[in-house]
Structure 1
């Protein structure tokens, strides 16, 4: 986003030099430079493809020459430090920044989740993440956990102590199969899913 907001205010035919401590940003910029020549399938596997489409569209529209210079992180570069501070402040904003992408020439296909959030990453990974959240939500709302949720609301559970109990390893070997069985037993105890006779019947 920092690159996008910087380029938006640049004059036409400008020569822009961007200092960044992120090699990943530089690599993604050059990787996404020829968006018009790659297939929609490969395009939708590029992370933040809406952002990169917008950046390259601005560069082309304003006829900009953009050059990246890699600087060392936390090296005292004044403008890089300012950018880091602004990025951290941006993460705390309650209203997310939305990029209008319907007019972008390279953005021919954009899937929206819940008719609201555009998926601008690898679709398979996004769907996997969504399903993981759904499974977690289903698990937390399972009837067998109601007593735990009620006890949590009533502050009857010491979660700090519970965490120590979960992570305690009495086997002195992190790769022990017996330690794995211990963890499984603790999980089943805490979720009331031990195969006891009353549950099995």
Structure 2
């Protein structure tokens, strides 16, 4: 990824550099700011125009903190932020960041974008991690961790868990490129994780049940026969209909089970109506509450048919 800057005055100066170590747009903008600070004169007043509002927000927040407070922070690229404020303090600089619209067809913006693209053809620059060091750097595979350490460890463990999970023989059906690209994995794991703010047995059981549904590992007869063939017979039928074998697919398509689901929904509807009637009786003294209860609508479940 290319990183570039342009100094418009008092003397025009251009510079670009190729970054290959964890190249991200946020990091490229931050490194460009640091490079500008390095070439500034002492006691200078600087106005830097950037198109990343996130960098401006973090910079304005860190201006109010000491270097010691910044070093204790857990934000991404904290070592780079420490370096930038060390330079500001060492050269006694007064720095103001101003937001500009990205790709706004302005003269200087177009020049910097062109420099950043041209930097891709340059030799990559290597920055010695010792230059970023405040008290020490935590590394992974000899590379400095640029994000918050606990989050990095969490992501590493999650990646290892996913790799172990997909390497299981029962998950061979997921190990093909077409299937992996068709699934929205971020949404899938968000649903499987459920409420991440709670850690208890009920949440654990619910999440475990979701995974079993997703991987077709519910204790249906076809799965139980694989685990304990000496206990379960492959000739047994699904006990709800006694017609077909109990497989994962039949569990959701059985006509008898569809009727059971409709009966449960109708019973739940009647139960809700009974609760509503009791609430109306207890709310006779308050017309406001009674009027609100009258507006409750119950949907008729009777037309539902199984698929």
Provide the residue aligned with 2:137 in structure 1.
Answer: 110
1:126 shift after superposition: 1.5
Give the 3 Å change call, closer, same or farther, for CA 53–88 of structure 1 in structure 2: farther
Unaligned runs of 5+ in 2: 1-30, 184-208, 229-307
2:194 maps to 1:163: no
Correspondences of 1:43-192 after superposition (within 5 Å): 43=73, 45-84=74-113, 99-102=127-130, 107-114=134-141, 116-146=142-172, 149=175, 152=176, 159=179, 163=182, 185=213, 187-189=214-216
Aligned equivalents of 1:127, 1:18: Cα separation in 2: 35
Q: For the Cα contact (< 8 Å) 1:57–1:104, is it kept in 2?
A: no
SS of corresponding position for 2:76:
coil
For residues 42 and 155 of structure 2, what CA distance do their matches in structure 1 show? Answer: 41
1:2-39 CA distances to partner (integer Å, 9 max, x unpaired)?
A: 21222223333333211112221012112233342427
CA distance in 2, matches of 1:35, 1:98: 28
User: 3-state DSSP class of the match of 2:98?
Assistant: strand
| Alignment partner, residue 197 of structure 1 | 224
After TM superposition, the score normalised by the length of structure 1 is: 0.63
C-alpha spacing 1:127/1:5, structure 2 compared with 1 (3 Å): same
Could you tell me how far apart the structure 2 residues matched to 1:130 and 1:32 are? 29
1:50 is displaced (CA, Å) by 0.8
* 1:104-152 deviation per Cα after TM superposition (whole angstroms, max 9, x unaligned): 57x22432223x1222332221211111111111122223335764xx4
Do the aligned residues in 1 keep the contact of 2:166 with 2:174 (CA within 8 Å)? Answer: no
Whole-angstrom distance in 2 between the partners of 1:57 and 1:120: 18
Count of residue pairs brought into register by the alignment = 169
Please state whether the residue corresponding to 1:134 is helix, strand or coil.
Answer: helix
Q: Residue 102 of structure 1 aligns to a residue in which SS?
A: helix
Higher relative contact order (CA 8 A, sep 6+): 1
Residue 21 of structure 1 aligns with which residue?
Answer: 51
Q: Given the two structures, how large is their TM-score scaled by the length of structure 2?
A: 0.44
The SS at the match of 1:38 is: helix
Q: Give, in angstroms, the shift of residue 49 of structure 1.
A: 0.7
Greater C-alpha radius of gyration: 2
Root-mean-square deviation (CA, aligned residues, Å) is: 3.8
SS at match of 1:124: helix
